[in-house]
Amino acid sequence: MVKLGFIGEGAVEKIILESSQFQEYLHSVGIDFVNEVVDATGNGNLLPHNIDQYSQILKSKGASTIIVLTDLDDDQCITLTKSRIKPSDYHTIIVSIKQIEAWFLADEEAMRTFLKDNDYSIGNPEAIEKPFEKIRGLRIQKIGRGIGSKVILANQMINNHNFSILRAAKHPNCASARFFIGKIIELSQKQSLT
């Protein structure tokens, strides 16, 4: 039996992964999971010795497979990010490009309500170097005030604007969200075979 655990690079990943909507999605595809996400408090903490420690916490709660969700940030490529982490066989590394906030940009439905702009659309959310700053700038432009922090943004997107990883994954230019959902489906299929 596959039981999934999650390690997030930071508080935003933890908020997204612990959201009731995402956890309901996991239930709907038959994924058994540890409902407490480990927050690594920054990508600098996603190093082999820390990953082992975080993984032991999740394994003690029954996790047999662990997904690590991190940002590409300034790394040159996904391969470098993964090699820095040095995953074990039971890890799957998901690298959001450039940062996880690009997934917010990709969920055009949630962004429309967040910005109060029914015409919002974005061509390539993962090409934006600093998606949080882009969101802040759009909010100032559309509403006249920004957003204080990434954590406040994540909480608002989840709690007030119904952010959905599934909708972000459907955006034609949000490959990392699509890859993430693909891995969840792959694990769901493995679980249904056991």
Distances 154 to 35, 72, 110 between C-alpha atoms, Å: 18, 18, 11
Instruction: Kindly report, residue by residue over 69-88, the tens digit of the pLDDT.
Output: 888 766 667 877 777 777 78
Of the pLDDT bands very low, low, confident and very high (cuts 50, 70, 90), residue 109 is very high
Q: What is the pLDDT of residue 86?
A: 78
Q: What is the pLDDT of residue 26?
A: 94
pTM: 0.92
Q: How many Å apart are CA 133 and CA 150, to the nearest integer? A: 10
pLDDT at 191 over 70: no
Backbone φ, ψ for residue 29 (5° rounding):
-100, 10
